[in-house]
Every structure is written in structure tokens, then in C-alpha cells.
Structure 1
Amino acid sequence: MKFEVTILGSSSATPIFNRNPTAQVLNLNERLYLIDCSEGTQLQMLRFEIKASRIDYIFISHLHGDHYLGLVGLLSSMHLNGRTRPLKIFGPPALKEIVDIQFKYSETVIQYPLEFVATDGTKAEVILDNQDVVVETIPLDHRIATTGFLFKQKKRLRKLIKAKVESLEIPVDLYPTLKKGAPYTAPDGTVYANNELTVDSERPKCYAYCSDTLYNEQYFDQIRHADLLYHEATFLHNMLDRANKTHHTTAWQAGQVAIKTEAKSLLIGHFSARYKSLNELLDEAKSVFPETELAIEGKTYPVGHDLI
């Protein structure tokens, strides 16, 4: 089962040093989920060969421009490219008004169903539940209402032991019940326990996306044991006062979040434009939590496997 995230943008506030503001694409069983959509996201998708036509869900964490200013352009391009399949957008309530007014004054009528689902920055709630994943909002502590997103993979059905099933000539129409855990009774009356015919599927994995936030332990319980934790690390810890003033996190604090929530791996991003090189940020986070890697644009990171 594929579960991986590709970084499209890792800068904070402005594009600089060939880094673009925040955007990511999560691939879960070949279904694509776009997380934040800064300006330049379309160009990054073209650059890294990610097809916008495959995206059915878009998640916007908050209404600072470096997280959503590419959205209207992306929606317009989908329209111009003939999209007809529905698209669902999750984000702050005012996002719908922003998109509607853009289309109103450009006299654009989108030719595909567009559904907005408002998020609430004050509480965690399930906003999507489909065959592959359950998505929850993560209330964060930023200057304006902001949510992260927790993607929890659903448990898959049991896997058939092909050689055993075929040797017993079990009818194919019984496979679904075997995958659900039922035993099998052969024509001669022999009963085979399910664990003789199937093995358990992989443990479901979890991706936690923590966008702009002050260090605040209020969200720690919700993201505990994430297989991959993406956390903003805008500044080095010697700029803690600046981080606190702007409601951001330092690289050292991001490492603290990972170790206190018992994450398996940490991915840091949302880097300040003041840093041309990111090595200091990486070193600082790794001094606390060694299983840390930088969010590098164009790079794909598996969820649930060692990054390093």
C-alpha cells in the first residue's frame, strides 16, 4: 500500500533561495490529497510530474497567504483543463468567500462540482472518512485560526495465503469473507481456521501535518505515535523570542515535539527566508530527535518507514 508525501514547498512567508512556500501532496493508495497550496504550487506540480487531475481533496490549514494563494489559480486551471469530477476543499470558513469573490469578479463559472467543508480552529474533529483514510483537524496555536491535519490509514482486510487457498480449491466468491476473518468449511466437513488461510494486513500508519504554530502541548496527545510527523521549524532556537512573537516554532522545539509525542520520524519545514542554508536547522532538530530530516522540495518521504 502506498502512503507517502511529496514536498512541493518548504519556505515560510515568501519564495526565496529556490524554495517555495508551503504545499505538499500525500499519496495514499494512488489517491492524491493536496495539503496547503501556496503561490507557485501549480508550477511545482508540473516540475515534479504530479497531475492535478488526480487530486480530489484539498486541505488548507489557515488563511495566511503563503498557505493558500495558489488555490484560485489551481482551481481555474482544473476548470480550463476540462475537469468534471467533484473536488472537496477543507479550510477556514472565510476561504469560500475568498474563492467566490475571485470567481465573481473574473466572471468565472467552474464547470465541476466544488464543495467547501469549513474547519474549526478551536477543536479537533473528523472532516473526512473514506475507504482509505480518516482525516482529523489538529487545533494549533497561531496568530489566526489554524489547523493541522492528521491522516490515519484505515486497517486493511486480511491477506490470503495464496498457495494454501488454491491448494484447497476454495471458490473465489468466498475470498471476501475469508479476508474479513471467517473460517472455511471444506466439502468434506473439514473446518480450517482463518489464520491457516490468511495473514494479518500491515498495521495502519499515521501522518501528522502540523502547520504554523507556537510550541504548545495542547495538541500532543492527538498526534502521539505518528509514523511521520511534519512540523514547522521556522527559526533556530537562538531566535526563540521572534518565534514566540510570531507564533512559530524553532527547530529545537520541533525536535521536542517529536520526542514528547513519540513520533517514529520527524520532517521539518516552513523555513524562514533568513536561512540560505538549512543545515543548522537540521542539526538543531537532530540534537533532540535524531530521526529528523529536512522537507526538501521534490523529495518523496514514505510514511511508516525510516527516513534516514
Structure 2
Amino acid sequence: MDFELTVLGSSSATPSKGRYQSAQLLKIHNEYFMIDCGEAAQYQLSRYKLNHTKISHIFISHLHGDHFFGLIGLLSTMNLYGRKNPLHIFAPAGLDEIIQIQLKYSETILQFPLEYTPLDSKESVHIVDHPLIDVYTIPLEHRIHCNGFLFKEKAKPLKLNKEKLPEKLSLLEIAQLKQGIDVLNEDETIKVAVKDCCMPALKSRSYAYCSDTRYTEAILPLVKGVDLLYHESTFLDELSDRAAKTYHTTARQAAEFAKKAEVGKLIIGHFSSRYYDVEPFLAEAGSIFKNTALGIEGTTFSLSDRNSTDGTNNG
């Protein structure tokens, strides 16, 4: 089953030097989950041939414009294409009012339901119980209420060893075994034991998105051991004082955080427009946490069922 993250935007406050504002798309099987929605989000979806009609959930970290100014355009396009399915939006309180005002004065009537869930950033909350994943908020330290998001794949069923599986089991009994439950006879003695015909389940995968924040170790327990971590790195460490004042993080700090969190792979992004070349970000972070990648536009990071991580650029 697919577990792929595509970066749509890697710039901070303004689009600059071929980089666009924050937006990502997480594909799990055939479901699309959008994370932040900067100005060029729908253009980037089209550019990388990602179907906006499959987006079921949108998560907005905070209400600075570079993280949600693309939303009204995307909603309008969805409407023009005849969307009927509900769209679930998770964002700080106030976004629903912003969207409704824009719809009102453009005299736009959406033909699909918007289902808003307002978020605060005081503590981690379980916000989505989806058949494929659970989603939790990650409280961040920014100038306004800001959350990251933790996506955890549901536990997978055990794998059956068909060579050791008895014949003539019912579908219900097979399903029972895959859930780790022994099949019993009518007298409650064991008919088929899980240990005799099942192999361990494949490991569930996880992704943590840490949007705008200054360096904080308070969230380490929430992201400990995730397979894939995105952490903003607006500045190089030479501007660490500015990063602290503006509630942002440096590449070095992002790498230090990833190392302490013992994550599988670190993606850095949200680069300040003052930097033309972002390779120094990779050098700075990579010197501390080797398995670091630049979260630049068009790059897709795939987690296989065995959790190997591949980053490919779709150009």
C-alpha cells in the first residue's frame, strides 16, 4: 500500500527563486491528505499530476497567509469540477469565517459540504480516526496558534503462512487469525493457533509534519521514532538569533531535533527567500543528522511496507 509524501512548496513567507509557499500532499493507498495550502498549491498539484478530486482532508497548521492563501482557489476549482464529496478541513478557529466571507462576496455556492474542525495548540489531540490512519496534532511554538500533524498508519493484520494454514477454514476464521485471535472448537479447545500459522505483521508507518516553530524539545515524545519527519528550517545557524526572535528554526536545530527524536529520515524546508541556494541547508543539517533531505518542490518521499525511504524528484 502506498505511503508517499510529495512536497509542493518549500518557501517561507513569499514565493521566491522557483520555490513556492508551504504545501504538501500525503498519499496513503488511494486517499490524499493535504498539509498546508500555500498560494500555488493547486498549480503544483496539476504540475505533478496529483488529482485534487481525491483530497479528502486538508490540514492547515496556522493562519499565516503562506500556509493557507491557496485554499480558496483550490475550493473554487473543486467546485468547478463538480465535487460532491465532503471535504474535511482541520485548522485554527477563524478559517471557516475567512472562507465563508470569500465565498459570500464572490457569490460562490459550493456544491459540496465543508466540514470544519477548529484546532487549538495547547496539547496534542487525536483529530482523525480514519480506516487507514490516525492523525494527531503537534503543538508548536510560533507567534500565533500553530500545530504540526502526526500521521500514524493503523496496525496491520498478521500475515498468514499459507503452507501451514489448515484446509476448509471459513473466511471469518481466517480474518480472526489475521487479527491475532486463535480459532476455537465448539468446546473452546484450540482448533487453530495463531502462533502455528501466522507471521508478524508489517510495521505501520508514520509521518510527522512540524510547521513554523522555534526549537522546542517539548514535542520530542510525540514524534519519537517516526519514520519520516518534516521540520521547518527557515534559516542557517548563523541567523539563530533571528530564528529565535521570529519563532523559527535553523537547519542545525532541525537536525539536532531529528537526532534526539531518533527518526528514520529528516526533511527540511520553509527556506527564507534571502537564500538563493539551499544546498548549504543540507550540508549544515547533514553534518549532524546524516539521513537528511531537502524538501524541495516535486520531491516524493516513499515509505515501503518495510519502511525504506526513497526520495525522488518529479521535476
Measured against the shorter chain, the TM-score band is over 0.9
SS of 2:11 mapped into structure 1: coil
1:177 matched to which residue of 2? 176
Shift of 1:109: 1.1
CA–CA separation in structure 2 for the residues paired with 1:25 and 1:190: 46
Map 1:45-124 → 2, pairs under 5 A: 45-124=45-124
2:236 matched to which residue of 1? 236
1:223 matched to which residue of 2? 223
- Mean alpha-carbon deviation: is it higher for 220-229 or for 173-182? 173-182
Amino acid across the alignment from 2:140: L
Q: What is the root-mean-square deviation in Å for CA atoms of aligned residues? A: 1.7
Amino acid across the alignment from 2:137: T
Amino acid across the alignment from 1:260: K
Map 1:132-211 → 2, pairs under 5 A: 132-165=132-165, 168-184=167-183, 191-211=191-211
Percent pairwise identity: 45
SS of 1:49 mapped into structure 2: coil
Change (3 A) 1:268 1:296: same
Amino acid across the alignment from 2:96: K
CA–CA separation in structure 2 for the residues paired with 1:96 and 1:82: 21
Q: How many residues align?
A: 306
CA–CA separation in structure 2 for the residues paired with 1:75 and 1:164: 52
Amino acid across the alignment from 2:246: T
Shift of 1:161: 2.2
Shift of 1:239: 0.8
Is residue 301 from structure 1 mapped to residue 301 from structure 2 by the alignment?
yes
SS of 1:7 mapped into structure 2: strand
CA–CA separation in structure 1 for the residues paired with 2:294 and 2:310: 10
Give the TM-score normalised by the residue count of structure 1: 0.95
Contact 2:37-2:67 at 8 Å conserved across structures = yes
CA–CA separation in structure 1 for the residues paired with 2:99 and 2:86: 16
CA–CA separation in structure 2 for the residues paired with 1:254 and 1:148: 14
Change (3 A) 1:42 1:184: same
CA–CA separation in structure 1 for the residues paired with 2:310 and 2:173: 39
Q: What do the CA deviations read for 1:119-149 (whole angstroms, capped 9, x no partner)?
A: 1112211111111111111110111110000
SS of 2:219 mapped into structure 1: helix
1:288 matched to which residue of 2? 288
Contact 1:293-1:307 at 8 Å conserved across structures = no
Q: What do the CA deviations read for 1:200-222 (whole angstroms, capped 9, x no partner)?
A: 21122221100000111121121
Amino acid across the alignment from 2:87: L
Give the TM-score normalised by the residue count of structure 2: 0.93
CA–CA separation in structure 1 for the residues paired with 2:85 and 2:130: 17
Can you give the 5+ residue segments of structure 1 that lack an aligned partner in the other structure?
none
Amino acid across the alignment from 1:22: S
Amino acid across the alignment from 2:7: I
CA–CA separation in structure 1 for the residues paired with 2:45 and 2:164: 44
CA–CA separation in structure 2 for the residues paired with 1:222 and 1:184: 37
Can you give the 5+ residue segments of structure 2 that lack an aligned partner in the other structure?
none
CA–CA separation in structure 1 for the residues paired with 2:127 and 2:4: 20
SS of 2:148 mapped into structure 1: strand
Shift of 1:296: 2.1
Shift of 1:184: 4.0
Shift of 1:50: 0.5
CA–CA separation in structure 2 for the residues paired with 1:183 and 1:117: 40
SS of 1:8 mapped into structure 2: strand
SS of 1:239 mapped into structure 2: helix
CA–CA separation in structure 2 for the residues paired with 1:146 and 1:69: 16
Contact 1:265-1:307 at 8 Å conserved across structures = no
Change (3 A) 1:146 1:190: closer
Contact 2:9-2:23 at 8 Å conserved across structures = yes
Contact 2:176-2:183 at 8 Å conserved across structures = no
